[in-house]
Amino acid sequence: MDSRLFIQDLKKPQDFHEYFSKKQDLVLDLGSGMGEFAIELAQTHPHFNYICVEKRMPRARAIAERIDKRSLTNIIVIQTRFEWLIPHCFFHNHFHTIYLNFPDPWLKAKYSSRRTMTTKFLNYVSDALILNGNFHFATDVDEYAQFGHDLLEDHPDFINQLGPQVISKEPPEIQKTLFYYHAQNDNIDSNFIHFTKVK
Ligand SMILES: C[S@@+](CC[C@H](N)C(=O)[O-])C[C@H]1O[C@@H](n2cnc3c(N)ncnc32)[C@H](O)[C@@H]1O
């Protein structure tokens, strides 16, 4: 038995503050893997509440076990596909920060429509973020980084927090995720993108 949540546990829309004993700004980590990144953040930044979303059962279970083992009360994990969660369960103006770190890049042209970064997805992100909320996107695929960056630059709700047209090759200290280290071990540079919702 662990503390994973499932899509059927959630209201439509869901007030995620209900899952935490302290009402604090909400941070969403889409595609959390084994949760190293969000768990580290939950420990080092206890004044935020964290929501991990991971579709794979063994990974979501591992996150839940780690949360339980550390008795963390400011982080939960939902085992689901985020494209199921986002349209149904998101409240407007709800999240302080949303991370999309190293999503599957779907490199083959015939699968490129499966990529997460689309204008429709960014519309959901914008709707879900509070004003001045943050969207972080990281990838080790340069072409995907440029594509995502261009979608964000063209989107009327966002401005580039790093400066016009800037994609950083340097991770913010807190954003060194497992897949960042995998890429580094393969001598592949990663790309870090940070936009803020301005309207
Ligand atoms: C490449 S890993 C990156 C993990 C972590 N964010 C990191 O940077 O180390 C991508 C993760 O996203 C999960 N994932 C992919 N598509 C997803 C979706 N539609 N909904 C939820 N999780 C998804 C995968 O199962 C995998 O664990």
b vs e for 137-165, b when ≥16 Cβ sit within 10 Å of the residue's Cβ?
A: bbbbbeebbebbbebbeebebbbbeeeee
Q: Average model confidence (pLDDT) for the chain?
A: 95
| Mean per-residue pLDDT, 95-103 | 98
Asked whether residue 1 carries a pLDDT value surpassing 70, the answer given is no
pLDDT cut 70: percent of the chain above it: 99
Report residue 88's pLDDT band, with 50, 70 and 90 as the boundaries. confident
Supply the pLDDT for residue 107.
Answer: 87
Q: Cβ(190) to ligand 1 under 6 A?
A: no
CA of 78 to the centre of ligand 1 (A): 12
Reference 36, options 81, 85, 101; nearest CA is 101
Helix/strand/coil for 33: coil
Supply the pLDDT for residue 116.
Answer: 95
Query: Measuring from atom 14 of ligand 1, which residue has the nearest CA?
Result: 31
CA of 102 to the centre of ligand 1 (A): 7
Strand partners, 142: none
Reference 89, options 25, 24, 15, 17; nearest CA is 15
Supply the pLDDT for residue 45.
Answer: 97
Given the CA of residue 99, which atom of ligand 1 is nearest to it? 6
Q: Are 33 and 52 in contact (CB under 8 A)?
A: no
Query: Measuring from atom 4 of ligand 1, which residue has the nearest CA?
Result: 33
Task: Identify the domain containing residue 57 by its residue range.
Answer: 5-197
pLDDT cut 90: percent of the chain above it: 85
Query: Measuring from atom 26 of ligand 1, which residue has the nearest CA?
Result: 33
The single residue listed with the structure tokens 């439509």 is 12
Query: Measuring from atom 20 of ligand 1, which residue has the nearest CA?
Result: 81
pLDDT tens digit sequence for 66-87: 999 999 999 999 999 998 888 8
Ligand 1 probe mutation, 50, 102, 106, most atoms within 8 A of CB: 102
Q: Are 49 and 75 in contact (CB under 8 A)?
A: yes
Number of domains in the chain: 1
How many angstroms separate the CA atoms of 199 and 181, rounded?
34
Amino acid at 11: K
Axis-axis angle for helices 119-128, 82-89 (nearest 10) = 50
Supply the pLDDT for residue 175.
Answer: 83
b vs e for 87-119, b when ≥16 Cβ sit within 10 Å of the residue's Cβ?
A: eebbeeebbbbbbbbbbebeeeeeeeeebbbee
Any idea what the CATH number is for the domain that residue 160 is in? 3.40.50.150
Q: Cβ(140) to ligand 1 under 6 A?
A: no
